[in-house]
Structure 1
Amino acid sequence: MKIWAHRGCSYACPENTLQAFKAACQYPITGIELDIQLTKDRKMVVIHDEKVDRTTDGTGQVCDFTLEELKNLKIAVPTSGPGESAYTQIPTIEEVFELVKPYCLKNGVLINIELKNSQVRYEGMEDMILETVSRWGLENYIVYSSFNPQSVRLLKEKNPSVKTGILATPLSECLSFAEKYPVDALHPNIKKIDVEDLRSKTNLPVRAWNTSGFEPFYPDTGAVEIQNLEELVKAGVTDIFTNVPERYLQKSHETAAN
Protein backbone atom coordinates (compact mmCIF):
# COMPACT_ATOMS: atom_id res chain seq x y z
CA MET A 1 0.00 0.00 0.00
CA LYS A 2 1.37 3.40 -0.98
CA ILE A 3 0.97 6.19 1.59
CA TRP A 4 0.37 9.84 0.66
CA ALA A 5 0.39 12.68 3.18
CA HIS A 6 -3.01 14.36 2.80
CA ARG A 7 -2.35 18.11 3.00
CA GLY A 8 0.93 17.10 4.66
CA CYS A 9 1.06 15.70 8.19
CA SER A 10 -2.22 17.48 8.77
CA TYR A 11 -3.15 15.93 12.12
CA ALA A 12 0.12 16.99 13.76
CA CYS A 13 0.47 20.30 11.88
CA PRO A 14 -1.86 22.83 10.24
CA GLU A 15 -2.98 21.43 6.90
CA ASN A 16 -1.46 22.67 3.63
CA THR A 17 1.35 24.54 5.37
CA LEU A 18 5.10 24.34 4.85
CA GLN A 19 5.38 22.85 8.34
CA ALA A 20 2.97 20.03 7.43
CA PHE A 21 4.79 19.26 4.18
CA LYS A 22 8.23 19.31 5.77
CA ALA A 23 7.04 16.96 8.52
CA ALA A 24 5.62 14.58 5.90
CA CYS A 25 8.86 14.48 3.95
CA GLN A 26 10.66 13.04 6.97
CA TYR A 27 8.86 9.74 6.26
CA PRO A 28 9.21 7.36 3.28
CA ILE A 29 5.93 8.58 1.78
CA THR A 30 4.91 8.05 -1.82
CA GLY A 31 3.85 11.67 -2.06
CA ILE A 32 2.12 14.68 -0.59
CA GLU A 33 -1.32 15.96 -1.55
CA LEU A 34 -2.22 19.65 -1.64
CA ASP A 35 -4.87 22.01 -2.99
CA ILE A 36 -4.45 25.14 -5.12
CA GLN A 37 -6.62 28.20 -5.64
CA LEU A 38 -6.09 31.65 -7.15
CA THR A 39 -5.99 34.97 -5.34
CA LYS A 40 -7.67 38.16 -6.51
CA ASP A 41 -4.41 39.14 -8.24
CA ARG A 42 -4.16 35.63 -9.77
CA LYS A 43 -1.40 34.11 -7.68
CA MET A 44 -1.52 30.39 -6.91
CA VAL A 45 -1.85 29.62 -3.21
CA VAL A 46 -2.11 26.33 -1.34
CA ILE A 47 -5.35 26.14 0.63
CA HIS A 48 -8.26 23.70 0.65
CA ASP A 49 -11.39 25.65 1.55
CA GLU A 50 -12.81 28.34 -0.75
CA LYS A 51 -13.06 30.50 2.40
CA VAL A 52 -10.22 31.29 4.81
CA ASP A 53 -12.43 31.15 7.92
CA ARG A 54 -11.67 27.61 9.12
CA THR A 55 -7.89 27.57 8.81
CA THR A 56 -6.84 31.20 9.45
CA ASP A 57 -7.78 34.15 11.64
CA GLY A 58 -9.49 35.85 8.67
CA THR A 59 -12.89 35.67 7.03
CA GLY A 60 -13.95 35.68 3.41
CA GLN A 61 -13.38 34.01 0.04
CA VAL A 62 -9.84 33.20 -1.05
CA CYS A 63 -10.54 34.71 -4.47
CA ASP A 64 -11.42 38.07 -2.88
CA PHE A 65 -7.97 38.50 -1.28
CA THR A 66 -4.76 39.63 -2.95
CA LEU A 67 -1.68 37.55 -2.18
CA GLU A 68 -0.37 40.28 0.11
CA GLU A 69 -3.66 40.32 2.02
CA LEU A 70 -3.64 36.54 2.39
CA LYS A 71 -0.08 36.64 3.66
CA ASN A 72 -1.25 38.90 6.49
CA LEU A 73 -3.55 36.17 7.81
CA LYS A 74 -2.27 33.98 10.63
CA ILE A 75 -2.36 30.20 11.01
CA ALA A 76 -1.53 28.94 14.50
CA VAL A 77 1.15 26.25 14.67
CA PRO A 78 2.21 23.91 17.49
CA THR A 79 4.62 25.36 20.07
CA SER A 80 7.12 23.80 22.42
CA GLY A 81 5.57 25.05 25.66
CA PRO A 82 2.39 26.36 27.31
CA GLY A 83 1.66 30.03 26.91
CA GLU A 84 3.73 30.29 23.75
CA SER A 85 2.25 31.32 20.41
CA ALA A 86 3.53 30.88 16.88
CA TYR A 87 2.04 31.42 13.47
CA THR A 88 2.57 30.58 9.84
CA GLN A 89 1.02 31.75 6.56
CA ILE A 90 -0.83 30.34 3.59
CA PRO A 91 1.97 29.29 1.22
CA THR A 92 2.21 29.90 -2.49
CA ILE A 93 2.67 26.89 -4.73
CA GLU A 94 6.19 28.08 -5.50
CA GLU A 95 7.09 28.15 -1.81
CA VAL A 96 5.93 24.54 -1.56
CA PHE A 97 7.94 23.56 -4.63
CA GLU A 98 11.05 25.19 -3.18
CA LEU A 99 10.63 23.14 0.00
CA VAL A 100 9.65 19.80 -1.54
CA LYS A 101 11.72 19.69 -4.74
CA PRO A 102 14.84 18.33 -3.01
CA TYR A 103 12.76 15.43 -1.65
CA CYS A 104 11.34 14.83 -5.11
CA LEU A 105 14.77 14.66 -6.71
CA LYS A 106 16.45 12.60 -3.99
CA ASN A 107 13.66 10.41 -2.62
CA GLY A 108 11.19 10.34 -5.49
CA VAL A 109 8.44 12.09 -3.52
CA LEU A 110 5.43 12.88 -5.71
CA ILE A 111 3.10 15.87 -5.44
CA ASN A 112 -0.64 15.46 -6.01
CA ILE A 113 -1.99 18.88 -6.92
CA GLU A 114 -5.75 19.14 -6.52
CA LEU A 115 -7.22 22.00 -8.51
CA LYS A 116 -9.94 23.43 -6.27
CA ASN A 117 -12.07 24.72 -9.11
CA SER A 118 -15.44 23.07 -8.63
CA GLN A 119 -17.16 25.83 -6.66
CA VAL A 120 -15.10 28.72 -8.05
CA ARG A 121 -14.12 28.11 -11.67
CA TYR A 122 -10.69 29.70 -11.78
CA GLU A 123 -10.30 30.32 -15.50
CA GLY A 124 -6.80 29.68 -16.75
CA MET A 125 -5.72 27.71 -13.67
CA GLU A 126 -4.77 24.70 -15.77
CA ASP A 127 -2.38 26.73 -17.95
CA MET A 128 -0.90 28.44 -14.91
CA ILE A 129 -0.09 25.29 -12.99
CA LEU A 130 1.27 23.47 -16.05
CA GLU A 131 3.59 26.39 -16.79
CA THR A 132 4.75 26.68 -13.18
CA VAL A 133 5.49 22.96 -12.87
CA SER A 134 7.45 23.08 -16.13
CA ARG A 135 9.45 26.10 -14.97
CA TRP A 136 10.42 24.25 -11.79
CA GLY A 137 11.36 21.09 -13.72
CA LEU A 138 8.96 18.95 -11.71
CA GLU A 139 6.93 17.40 -14.54
CA ASN A 140 7.93 13.84 -13.59
CA TYR A 141 6.78 14.25 -10.00
CA ILE A 142 3.28 15.69 -10.39
CA VAL A 143 -0.21 14.17 -10.38
CA TYR A 144 -3.09 16.55 -11.11
CA SER A 145 -6.56 15.88 -9.73
CA SER A 146 -9.91 17.63 -9.45
CA PHE A 147 -13.55 17.01 -8.66
CA ASN A 148 -14.20 19.04 -11.82
CA PRO A 149 -14.21 16.55 -14.73
CA GLN A 150 -13.85 19.38 -17.24
CA SER A 151 -10.61 20.45 -15.59
CA VAL A 152 -9.18 16.91 -15.64
CA ARG A 153 -10.04 16.57 -19.33
CA LEU A 154 -8.56 19.98 -20.09
CA LEU A 155 -5.24 19.15 -18.45
CA LYS A 156 -4.91 16.04 -20.62
CA GLU A 157 -5.88 17.97 -23.75
CA LYS A 158 -3.26 20.61 -23.07
CA ASN A 159 -0.56 18.05 -22.30
CA PRO A 160 -1.38 14.36 -22.89
CA SER A 161 1.77 13.31 -21.05
CA VAL A 162 0.68 14.65 -17.65
CA LYS A 163 -0.60 12.27 -14.96
CA THR A 164 -4.15 12.90 -13.78
CA GLY A 165 -6.52 11.45 -11.20
CA ILE A 166 -10.28 11.86 -11.25
CA LEU A 167 -11.83 12.70 -7.88
CA ALA A 168 -15.34 11.58 -6.94
CA THR A 169 -17.05 10.18 -3.88
CA PRO A 170 -18.04 6.72 -5.20
CA LEU A 171 -15.43 4.63 -6.98
CA SER A 172 -18.04 3.74 -9.59
CA GLU A 173 -18.23 7.38 -10.66
CA CYS A 174 -14.45 7.55 -11.03
CA LEU A 175 -14.50 4.36 -13.08
CA SER A 176 -17.29 5.67 -15.30
CA PHE A 177 -15.19 8.74 -16.10
CA ALA A 178 -12.15 6.57 -16.89
CA GLU A 179 -14.19 4.56 -19.38
CA LYS A 180 -14.90 7.72 -21.39
CA TYR A 181 -11.81 9.90 -21.00
CA PRO A 182 -8.05 9.37 -20.57
CA VAL A 183 -7.04 9.41 -16.91
CA ASP A 184 -4.19 7.85 -14.97
CA ALA A 185 -5.74 7.12 -11.56
CA LEU A 186 -9.04 6.88 -9.68
CA HIS A 187 -9.42 8.91 -6.46
CA PRO A 188 -12.57 7.82 -4.57
CA ASN A 189 -13.75 8.16 -0.98
CA ILE A 190 -12.37 5.30 1.11
CA LYS A 191 -15.91 4.53 2.33
CA LYS A 192 -17.31 4.31 -1.20
CA ILE A 193 -15.34 1.48 -2.81
CA ASP A 194 -18.53 0.30 -4.49
CA VAL A 195 -17.12 -1.73 -7.41
CA GLU A 196 -16.79 -5.48 -6.98
CA ASP A 197 -14.05 -7.48 -8.69
CA LEU A 198 -12.39 -4.15 -9.44
CA ARG A 199 -9.21 -5.52 -10.97
CA SER A 200 -11.16 -7.25 -13.69
CA LYS A 201 -12.42 -3.81 -14.74
CA THR A 202 -9.33 -1.60 -14.50
CA ASN A 203 -5.60 -1.66 -13.86
CA LEU A 204 -5.50 2.01 -12.85
CA PRO A 205 -4.20 2.99 -9.40
CA VAL A 206 -6.97 3.56 -6.87
CA ARG A 207 -5.96 6.23 -4.35
CA ALA A 208 -8.59 6.51 -1.62
CA TRP A 209 -9.20 9.50 0.66
CA ASN A 210 -11.09 9.82 3.94
CA THR A 211 -13.14 12.60 5.54
CA SER A 212 -12.44 14.77 8.57
CA GLY A 213 -15.01 12.82 10.57
CA PHE A 214 -12.62 9.86 10.52
CA GLU A 215 -9.31 11.70 10.14
CA PRO A 216 -9.42 15.08 11.92
CA PHE A 217 -7.23 18.04 11.03
CA TYR A 218 -4.99 19.97 13.42
CA PRO A 219 -5.82 21.31 15.99
CA ASP A 220 -8.62 18.76 16.39
CA THR A 221 -7.26 15.97 18.60
CA GLY A 222 -10.16 13.58 18.01
CA ALA A 223 -9.72 9.89 17.35
CA VAL A 224 -8.20 8.82 14.03
CA GLU A 225 -9.50 5.83 12.09
CA ILE A 226 -6.59 3.54 11.20
CA GLN A 227 -7.17 1.53 8.04
CA ASN A 228 -6.96 -2.22 7.57
CA LEU A 229 -4.56 -2.08 4.66
CA GLU A 230 -4.90 -5.76 3.82
CA GLU A 231 -8.64 -5.41 3.37
CA LEU A 232 -8.20 -2.33 1.20
CA VAL A 233 -5.71 -4.18 -1.00
CA LYS A 234 -8.22 -7.01 -1.41
CA ALA A 235 -10.80 -4.44 -2.53
CA GLY A 236 -8.39 -3.12 -5.17
CA VAL A 237 -7.13 0.01 -3.42
CA THR A 238 -3.46 0.72 -4.20
CA ASP A 239 -2.83 3.96 -2.27
CA ILE A 240 -4.34 6.00 0.55
CA PHE A 241 -4.27 9.71 1.26
CA THR A 242 -3.99 10.10 5.03
CA ASN A 243 -3.65 12.93 7.54
CA VAL A 244 -1.46 10.64 9.66
CA PRO A 245 1.25 9.09 7.46
CA GLU A 246 3.31 8.84 10.64
CA ARG A 247 0.88 6.17 11.91
CA TYR A 248 1.73 3.95 8.94
CA LEU A 249 5.42 4.70 8.33
CA GLN A 250 8.60 4.84 10.35
CA LYS A 251 10.57 8.08 10.17
CA SER A 252 13.38 7.95 7.61
CA HIS A 253 16.93 7.80 8.92
CA GLU A 254 18.13 9.76 5.92
CA THR A 255 16.23 12.57 4.22
CA ALA A 256 16.95 15.03 1.44
CA ALA A 257 17.51 17.73 4.03
CA ASN A 258 20.56 15.93 5.50
Structure 2
Amino acid sequence: MPKQGLCAHRGGFESTPENTVPGFEEAIKYGAQMIEFDIQFTKDSALVIMHDGTVDRTTNGRGAVADMTLNEIRKLDAGIKKGSKFASTKVPTLDETLALMPKNVWLNCHLKGGSKLGAAVALVIQKTNRMHQAFLTCEEDAAQGARAACPAILICNADSRYRANVPQYVAATIKNKANFIQLLVLKPGEDRTEQIALLKKNNIRINYFEAQKPEMLEDLFKSGVDFILTNDLPHFVTEAKRLGIAPVQPIY
Protein backbone atom coordinates (compact mmCIF):
# COMPACT_ATOMS: atom_id res chain seq x y z
CA MET A 1 0.00 0.00 0.00
CA PRO A 2 1.18 3.58 -0.66
CA LYS A 3 3.25 5.16 2.11
CA GLN A 4 2.56 8.75 1.08
CA GLY A 5 0.58 10.66 -1.51
CA LEU A 6 -2.57 12.43 -2.61
CA CYS A 7 -6.14 11.70 -1.59
CA ALA A 8 -8.89 12.46 -4.12
CA HIS A 9 -11.53 14.14 -1.94
CA ARG A 10 -14.97 12.82 -2.97
CA GLY A 11 -13.22 11.57 -6.08
CA GLY A 12 -11.91 15.05 -6.84
CA PHE A 13 -14.91 17.18 -7.61
CA GLU A 14 -13.49 20.19 -9.45
CA SER A 15 -13.83 18.50 -12.84
CA THR A 16 -16.27 15.63 -12.20
CA PRO A 17 -19.43 15.14 -10.13
CA GLU A 18 -18.45 14.43 -6.53
CA ASN A 19 -18.94 10.98 -5.04
CA THR A 20 -19.78 9.37 -8.40
CA VAL A 21 -18.31 6.67 -10.62
CA PRO A 22 -16.92 9.22 -13.15
CA GLY A 23 -15.12 11.00 -10.31
CA PHE A 24 -13.67 7.80 -8.92
CA GLU A 25 -12.59 6.67 -12.39
CA GLU A 26 -10.75 9.97 -12.88
CA ALA A 27 -8.99 9.58 -9.52
CA ILE A 28 -7.85 6.10 -10.54
CA LYS A 29 -6.72 7.35 -13.96
CA TYR A 30 -4.53 10.02 -12.37
CA GLY A 31 -3.02 7.55 -9.93
CA ALA A 32 -4.40 8.73 -6.59
CA GLN A 33 -2.81 7.00 -3.62
CA MET A 34 -6.05 7.39 -1.64
CA ILE A 35 -9.67 7.99 -2.62
CA GLU A 36 -12.17 9.50 -0.18
CA PHE A 37 -15.95 9.12 -0.34
CA ASP A 38 -18.92 9.60 1.97
CA ILE A 39 -21.35 6.87 3.04
CA GLN A 40 -24.81 7.07 4.56
CA PHE A 41 -28.01 5.09 4.95
CA THR A 42 -31.12 5.51 2.83
CA LYS A 43 -34.59 5.16 4.32
CA ASP A 44 -34.50 1.43 3.55
CA SER A 45 -30.98 0.98 5.00
CA ALA A 46 -29.12 0.81 1.70
CA LEU A 47 -25.59 2.24 1.74
CA VAL A 48 -25.15 5.08 -0.74
CA ILE A 49 -22.32 7.47 -1.52
CA MET A 50 -23.28 11.06 -0.76
CA HIS A 51 -21.84 13.85 1.35
CA ASP A 52 -24.79 16.04 2.24
CA GLY A 53 -27.77 15.03 4.32
CA THR A 54 -29.98 16.00 1.38
CA VAL A 55 -29.80 15.29 -2.34
CA ASP A 56 -30.50 18.94 -3.22
CA ARG A 57 -27.00 20.26 -3.97
CA THR A 58 -25.59 17.43 -6.08
CA THR A 59 -28.63 15.99 -7.89
CA ASN A 60 -31.75 17.14 -9.71
CA GLY A 61 -33.90 16.05 -6.77
CA ARG A 62 -34.87 17.39 -3.39
CA GLY A 63 -35.17 15.79 0.02
CA ALA A 64 -33.24 14.13 2.82
CA VAL A 65 -31.28 10.98 2.02
CA ALA A 66 -32.68 9.36 5.17
CA ASP A 67 -36.24 9.97 3.92
CA MET A 68 -35.70 8.38 0.50
CA THR A 69 -35.46 4.76 -0.57
CA LEU A 70 -32.61 3.46 -2.68
CA ASN A 71 -34.96 3.17 -5.65
CA GLU A 72 -35.96 6.82 -5.29
CA ILE A 73 -32.35 7.97 -5.04
CA ARG A 74 -31.29 5.88 -8.03
CA LYS A 75 -33.81 7.74 -10.19
CA LEU A 76 -31.96 11.00 -9.59
CA ASP A 77 -29.31 12.50 -11.86
CA ALA A 78 -26.10 13.02 -9.86
CA GLY A 79 -24.11 14.37 -12.80
CA ILE A 80 -26.15 16.93 -14.69
CA LYS A 81 -25.14 19.83 -12.43
CA LYS A 82 -21.52 19.30 -13.55
CA GLY A 83 -22.49 19.48 -17.21
CA SER A 84 -24.38 17.63 -19.90
CA LYS A 85 -21.57 15.14 -20.49
CA PHE A 86 -22.25 13.74 -17.01
CA ALA A 87 -26.04 13.56 -17.47
CA SER A 88 -27.71 10.40 -16.18
CA THR A 89 -24.91 9.65 -13.70
CA LYS A 90 -26.40 7.75 -10.79
CA VAL A 91 -25.75 8.02 -7.06
CA PRO A 92 -23.59 4.92 -6.46
CA THR A 93 -24.00 2.33 -3.75
CA LEU A 94 -21.11 1.28 -1.52
CA ASP A 95 -20.94 -2.11 -3.25
CA GLU A 96 -20.68 -0.48 -6.68
CA THR A 97 -18.00 1.88 -5.46
CA LEU A 98 -15.86 -0.85 -3.92
CA ALA A 99 -16.22 -3.01 -7.04
CA LEU A 100 -14.48 -0.46 -9.26
CA MET A 101 -11.60 0.31 -6.89
CA PRO A 102 -8.07 -1.05 -7.39
CA LYS A 103 -6.67 -3.24 -4.64
CA ASN A 104 -3.62 -1.03 -4.12
CA VAL A 105 -5.06 2.36 -3.14
CA TRP A 106 -6.30 3.46 0.27
CA LEU A 107 -10.07 3.86 0.56
CA ASN A 108 -11.03 6.67 2.92
CA CYS A 109 -14.63 5.83 3.84
CA HIS A 110 -16.15 8.87 5.55
CA LEU A 111 -19.17 7.81 7.56
CA LYS A 112 -22.19 10.11 7.83
CA GLY A 113 -23.78 8.31 10.76
CA GLY A 114 -23.23 6.53 14.06
CA SER A 115 -22.65 3.04 15.40
CA LYS A 116 -25.24 1.27 13.22
CA LEU A 117 -23.67 2.71 10.08
CA GLY A 118 -20.18 1.85 11.32
CA ALA A 119 -21.14 -1.78 11.81
CA ALA A 120 -22.87 -2.06 8.44
CA VAL A 121 -19.99 -0.56 6.48
CA ALA A 122 -17.37 -2.60 8.33
CA LEU A 123 -19.18 -5.81 7.42
CA VAL A 124 -19.36 -4.84 3.74
CA ILE A 125 -15.63 -4.07 3.72
CA GLN A 126 -14.92 -7.44 5.30
CA LYS A 127 -17.23 -9.28 2.89
CA THR A 128 -15.63 -7.64 -0.16
CA ASN A 129 -12.04 -8.38 0.94
CA ARG A 130 -11.06 -4.73 1.34
CA MET A 131 -9.79 -4.95 4.91
CA HIS A 132 -6.19 -4.24 3.89
CA GLN A 133 -7.01 -0.91 2.25
CA ALA A 134 -10.31 0.54 3.49
CA PHE A 135 -10.60 2.56 6.68
CA LEU A 136 -13.52 4.33 8.32
CA THR A 137 -13.21 8.06 8.96
CA CYS A 138 -15.77 8.62 11.66
CA GLU A 139 -16.91 9.71 15.10
CA GLU A 140 -16.07 7.57 18.13
CA ASP A 141 -19.54 5.98 18.32
CA ALA A 142 -19.34 4.83 14.70
CA ALA A 143 -15.86 3.42 15.35
CA GLN A 144 -17.15 1.48 18.35
CA GLY A 145 -19.99 0.01 16.29
CA ALA A 146 -17.60 -0.91 13.50
CA ARG A 147 -15.12 -2.61 15.82
CA ALA A 148 -17.88 -4.52 17.59
CA ALA A 149 -18.93 -5.96 14.22
CA CYS A 150 -15.44 -6.36 12.81
CA PRO A 151 -12.59 -5.95 15.35
CA ALA A 152 -9.83 -5.67 12.74
CA ILE A 153 -11.41 -2.80 10.80
CA LEU A 154 -9.09 0.18 10.27
CA ILE A 155 -10.23 3.47 11.82
CA CYS A 156 -9.46 7.13 11.16
CA ASN A 157 -10.54 9.17 14.16
CA ALA A 158 -12.51 12.23 13.08
CA ASP A 159 -14.61 12.93 16.16
CA SER A 160 -16.05 16.43 15.88
CA ARG A 161 -16.23 16.96 19.65
CA TYR A 162 -12.52 17.73 19.87
CA ARG A 163 -11.14 17.66 16.34
CA ALA A 164 -10.36 21.39 16.26
CA ASN A 165 -8.17 21.06 19.38
CA VAL A 166 -5.12 19.32 17.94
CA PRO A 167 -3.43 18.16 21.20
CA GLN A 168 -6.73 16.72 22.45
CA TYR A 169 -7.45 15.20 19.02
CA VAL A 170 -4.05 13.53 18.88
CA ALA A 171 -4.30 12.22 22.45
CA ALA A 172 -7.76 10.73 21.81
CA THR A 173 -6.61 9.16 18.54
CA ILE A 174 -3.72 7.45 20.31
CA LYS A 175 -5.90 6.39 23.25
CA ASN A 176 -8.52 4.91 20.92
CA LYS A 177 -5.85 3.02 18.97
CA ALA A 178 -6.98 4.49 15.67
CA ASN A 179 -4.91 3.75 12.58
CA PHE A 180 -5.28 7.17 10.93
CA ILE A 181 -5.95 10.76 11.89
CA GLN A 182 -7.25 13.49 9.57
CA LEU A 183 -5.84 16.83 10.66
CA LEU A 184 -7.62 20.02 9.67
CA VAL A 185 -6.03 23.04 8.01
CA LEU A 186 -2.96 24.42 9.78
CA LYS A 187 -3.67 27.76 11.45
CA PRO A 188 -1.26 30.69 10.97
CA GLY A 189 1.62 30.33 13.41
CA GLU A 190 0.51 26.88 14.60
CA ASP A 191 3.30 24.39 15.32
CA ARG A 192 2.32 20.72 15.16
CA THR A 193 5.84 19.29 15.35
CA GLU A 194 5.34 17.70 18.76
CA GLN A 195 1.92 16.30 17.90
CA ILE A 196 3.11 14.81 14.61
CA ALA A 197 6.05 13.19 16.41
CA LEU A 198 3.61 11.58 18.87
CA LEU A 199 1.50 10.24 16.00
CA LYS A 200 4.57 8.82 14.26
CA LYS A 201 5.74 7.19 17.50
CA ASN A 202 2.38 5.43 17.69
CA ASN A 203 2.39 4.38 14.01
CA ILE A 204 -0.66 6.46 13.15
CA ARG A 205 -0.88 7.58 9.53
CA ILE A 206 -1.57 11.27 9.07
CA ASN A 207 -4.07 12.67 6.58
CA TYR A 208 -4.38 16.42 6.03
CA PHE A 209 -7.60 18.18 5.01
CA GLU A 210 -6.92 19.90 2.70
CA ALA A 211 -4.40 21.48 0.30
CA GLN A 212 -5.71 24.31 -1.87
CA LYS A 213 -2.57 24.78 -3.99
CA PRO A 214 0.04 22.33 -5.32
CA GLU A 215 2.87 24.41 -3.85
CA MET A 216 1.62 23.48 -0.37
CA LEU A 217 2.56 19.83 -0.85
CA GLU A 218 6.30 20.00 -0.19
CA ASP A 219 6.05 21.65 3.23
CA LEU A 220 3.19 19.38 4.28
CA PHE A 221 5.05 16.20 3.35
CA LYS A 222 8.23 17.50 5.03
CA SER A 223 6.24 18.16 8.21
CA GLY A 224 5.33 14.47 8.43
CA VAL A 225 1.92 14.39 6.77
CA ASP A 226 1.38 11.14 4.87
CA PHE A 227 -1.66 11.81 2.69
CA ILE A 228 -3.02 15.16 1.53
CA LEU A 229 -6.64 15.59 0.49
CA THR A 230 -7.38 17.66 -2.60
CA ASN A 231 -10.50 18.53 -4.56
CA ASP A 232 -8.57 18.89 -7.81
CA LEU A 233 -6.28 15.89 -8.19
CA PRO A 234 -5.17 16.48 -11.83
CA HIS A 235 -3.60 19.83 -10.88
CA PHE A 236 -1.62 18.30 -7.98
CA VAL A 237 -0.15 15.23 -9.69
CA THR A 238 2.72 17.05 -11.42
CA GLU A 239 3.97 18.57 -8.16
CA ALA A 240 3.65 15.24 -6.37
CA LYS A 241 5.75 13.62 -9.11
CA ARG A 242 8.39 16.33 -8.67
CA LEU A 243 8.53 15.40 -4.99
CA GLY A 244 9.12 11.75 -5.88
CA ILE A 245 5.57 10.47 -5.42
CA ALA A 246 4.67 8.47 -8.50
CA PRO A 247 1.04 7.89 -9.53
CA VAL A 248 -0.32 4.50 -8.53
CA GLN A 249 -0.53 1.91 -11.28
CA PRO A 250 -3.82 0.22 -10.43
CA ILE A 251 -3.94 -3.47 -9.59
CA TYR A 252 -7.29 -5.26 -9.67
TM-score bucket of the superposed structures, by smaller chain: 0.7 to 0.9
Q: Which has the higher contact order (CA 8 A, sep 6+)?
A: 1
Out of 22, 27, 45, which is 1:24 matched to? 27
- Residue 125 of structure 1 pairs with residue 112 of structure 2: no
CA distance in 2, matches of 1:95, 1:46: 10
CA contact (8 A) 1:36 1:116 kept: yes
Give the superposition deviation at 1:59: 1.3
CA contact (8 A) 2:119 2:148 kept: no
Residue deviations 1:191-248 (CA, integer Å, cap 9, x gap): 35653433432212210113xxxx8xxxxxxxx5334222213433221111112122
- What secondary structure, in the 3-state scheme, does the structure 2 residue paired with 1:88 have? coil
User: How many percent of aligned residue pairs carry the same amino acid?
Assistant: 25
CA distance in 1, matches of 2:136, 2:157: 9
Matched residue, 1:166: 157
C-alpha change, 1:164 and 1:255, in structure 2 (3 Å) is: closer
- Residue 180 of structure 1 pairs with residue 175 of structure 2: yes
CA contact (8 A) 1:207 1:237 kept: yes
Give the superposition deviation at 1:249: 1.8
Q: How does 1:208-247 map to 2 (within 5 A)?
A: 208-210=208-210, 225-247=213-235
Matched residue, 2:17: 14
TM-score when scaled to structure 2?
A: 0.82
CA distance in 2, matches of 1:209, 1:15: 16
Matched residue, 2:110: 114
Give the superposition deviation at 1:79: 4.5
Matched residue, 1:50: 53
CA distance in 1, matches of 2:83, 2:74: 19
C-alpha change, 1:226 and 1:96, in structure 2 (3 Å) is: same
Letter in 2 for 1:177: A
- What secondary structure, in the 3-state scheme, does the structure 2 residue paired with 1:97 have? helix
C-alpha change, 1:243 and 1:159, in structure 2 (3 Å) is: same
Unaligned stretches of 5+ residues in structure 1: 216-223
What is the CA RMSD across the aligned residues, in angstroms? 2.4
Give the superposition deviation at 1:170: 4.6
